[in-house]
Amino acid sequence: MSVSDPTGRPDGPRADRTDGDAAPAAPGPTGAPEWVVLRLARPYLNRLLGAGLLAAATEFAALALMSTATWLLMSAAGRPPLDRLTVAIVAVRALAIGRGVLRYTERLAGHDAVLRLVTDVRTRVFAALAARRDNSGQRSGDALSRLVSDVEAVQDLLLRVLVPATAAGLVSVVAVATATFVSPAAAGTLAVGLLLAGVALPILATALTRHAAAELAPLRGALATDAVDLTQGAAELAAFGATSQARGVASDRIQRLARIERRLAATGFAVDALGVLVAGLTAAAVVLVALADGVDGVLVGVLAVGTLVAVEVALALVGAARQWTGLRAGLTRVAVLLREAPATTAAVPPTGPSPTAVGIRFSDVTVRYRAEGPAALDRFHLDLPPGRRIAVVGPSGAGKSTLAAVLTGSVRPTGGQILLDGRDLSTYPAEVLPRIVGGLLAEAYVFHATVRENLLLGRPGAGEGDLAAATATAGLADWLRAQPEGWDTVVGEQGGQLSGGQRQRLALARALLAEPAVLVLDEPTEGLDPVAADDVLASVLAATPAQRSVLLISHRLRGLDSVDEIVVLESGRVVQRGRHADLVSAPGWYRDQWQLQEAAERGYLALGPVP
């Protein structure tokens, strides 16, 4: 069966073959990080606009409440007839209740929209992190920090910056316009105070905190990475006596973080104090100007209190600016991922039967992990027709695992092409490729779950018979029978409750269950004793249907006489190829290694390679 188009879709555009170091080049939204995020808010624009208007209405209700209450108190002092005060009394009650209702509704609408948006953003950020096939520079702690705290920056951008800023702007305009009816001169003074509080102070706050705030997000990311290293690497750190040094690095970072946060807090207090000063001075200036303008005493009082409330609302912009400055680094990191995020709509669930026979061609495939570094694979060429079994061997660091990684799509070639039945591997959707090429990669991860759950990852819905066959082939059946819980035995975090060999057999059984057309096995017998290794390799090769091809990576040369071809890699290049019998009779790495391994297995390790 051909897999030239397993999704039934036409071939996608060929990926740029020169971007091996770059993440997948999905053309995402561009522009400032805020725009990149806000573009995703389009579906929730009405809700967000509603939240902004409700926030403005809430602040305006507070302003009106204070002004009306002041008017009421000052007018009541002159003991007017009650009916002159009735409207104001009712208004004070209505505004007091209305303000609470408006605040509640605003929070409801704002959070509803923002949490929906944050869910979208987090999904895309996760997809981008997961799709980073070249993740050599990525640290899990930093990825977690991006997914959690950086995405929260999006939430804060809307709830703590944009919504309060909209409210402050609208209320300031309404307050100045209303004051103009009482005294244009006082309104002008109020406008100056509002500009100081709502424009000058936020600019000052931003200028004072920009540098410190930019350091925060990367520092938090680094600290999260330290935390992961300190917990996951605790045993190794302790074994090498490096725990206190690693803790020292982390606590240095914590102290730097604390210093920056203290500095930010101190600057914040200073700017807040300036804000209070501006509010007081503006109110005093408004009173003086209004009195000079001949405004009635009661209205002067109303203007004074109204000014204090309006400036306080405008001062929310200082908090918003400070928040914004603090959020930028996180937003930038999120925006980078959103630009690379693959379109979620493109994810098509795999349908139809898995292909069983696929031909693969490596054509001048080169992989460089660093632009200037040596090639891990250097113009590698290989044909792997359906049903062929090829073993790749070579010294440590020769590029064997890199070959498996490019074939399974987890690393992108820097040059050359891998064709699956003539179609470029990079054009296969991420959810289709594992059904065609898959298997056991180096250091396979075993989940903290039951044996059954770990196996079903290979083929969801596999029946008991399939599970039993795969575990028998991988040589795990005896161990499993001895477990009281059987299939439901929990294997512990990273398979910690299993021996190294059992973990490897479990991962191998899972790989066999997946039944890809091309089975990639990177050191399938690692951690097994020689006899078990030979048995497992023989039974895996015997159990793999004839039309499926196998790419076997191995340090161990025993058992390779049953494969069709052996490729010897050195420094990313093919230095020898042929069948086992040819290679053991020709001088070279293979023959040396074969003799060394044979001698070692007989207990003659000291003999060394025969020239």
Ligand X SMILES: Nc1ncnc2c1ncn2[C@@H]1O[C@H](COP(=O)(O)OP(=O)(O)OP(=O)(O)O)[C@@H](O)[C@H]1O
Residue 67 or 554: the one with the smaller Cβ distance to ligand X is: 554
Residue type, 167: A
Q: Which stretch binds ligand X (CB under 6 A): 117-125, 185-193, 393-401, 597-605?
A: 393-401
Q: How far is the CB of 237 from ligand X (least distance, A)?
A: 22
x-or-dash pattern for ligand X, window 372-391, by CB under 6 A? ----x---------------
Q: How far is the CB of 23 from ligand X (least distance, A)?
A: 14
Contacts of 393 (CB under 8 A, 6+ apart): 400, 553, 554, 555, 557, 560, 566, 567, 568, 569, 590, 593
Residue 366 or 401: the one with the smaller Cβ distance to ligand X is: 401
Q: How far is the CB of 21 from ligand X (least distance, A)?
A: 10
Q: Is 400 among the residues that bind ligand X (CB under 6 A)?
A: yes
Q: Which stretch binds ligand X (CB under 6 A): 214-222, 287-295, 397-405, 422-430?
A: 397-405
Which residues in 106-165 contact ligand X (CB under 6 A)?
A: 136
Q: Which stretch binds ligand X (CB under 6 A): 138-146, 333-341, 395-403, 430-438?
A: 395-403
Select the residue interacting with ligand X from 200, 253, 254, 369 (CB under 6 A): 369
Contacts of 128 (CB under 8 A, 6+ apart): 23, 337, 338, 340, 341, 342
Q: 5 to each of 1, 42, 109, 422, how far by Cα in Å?
A: 11, 35, 46, 10
Length of the chain: 611
Which position has the token pair 């799509």?
A: 409
Select the residue interacting with ligand X from 396, 464, 478, 531 (CB under 6 A): 396
DSSP alpha helix (H) spans, 515-608: 530-543, 580-585, 589-601
Strand partners, 380: 365
Q: How far is the CB of 369 from ligand X (least distance, A)?
A: 3
Contacts of 9 (CB under 8 A, 6+ apart): 348
Q: Is 397 among the residues that bind ligand X (CB under 6 A)?
A: yes
> How far out from the chain centre does Cα 477 lie?
38
Q: How far is the CB of 380 from ligand X (least distance, A)?
A: 11
Residue type, 512: L
Select the residue interacting with ligand X from 179, 191, 287, 398 (CB under 6 A): 398
Q: How far is the CB of 439 from ligand X (least distance, A)?
A: 15
Residue 400 or 591: the one with the smaller Cβ distance to ligand X is: 400
Q: Which stretch binds ligand X (CB under 6 A): 88-96, 158-166, 213-221, 396-404?
A: 396-404
Q: How far is the CB of 399 from ligand X (least distance, A)?
A: 4
Sheet of strand 389-393: strand arrangement = 437-440, 518-522, 549-553, 389-393, 565-570, 573-578
What DSSP string describes 162-188? IHHHHHHHHHHHHHHHHHHHH-HHHHH
x-or-dash pattern for ligand X, window 43-62, by CB under 6 A? --------------------
Residue 60 or 380: the one with the smaller Cβ distance to ligand X is: 380
The radius of gyration of the chain's CA atoms, rounded to the nearest angstrom, is: 34
Select the residue interacting with ligand X from 402, 471, 504, 544 (CB under 6 A): 402
Q: How far is the CB of 408 from ligand X (least distance, A)?
A: 13
For residue 143, with 0-12 CB atoms within 10 Å meaning exposed, 13-18 middle and 19 or more buried, which class applies?
buried
Q: How far is the CB of 116 from ligand X (least distance, A)?
A: 37
# chain residues binding ligand X, by CB under 6 A:
11
Query: 73-80 long-range CB contacts below 8 Å, 24 or more apart?
Result: 74/297, 74/298, 74/301, 74/302, 75/298
Residues that bind ligand X (CB under 6 A): 136, 369, 376, 394, 396-402
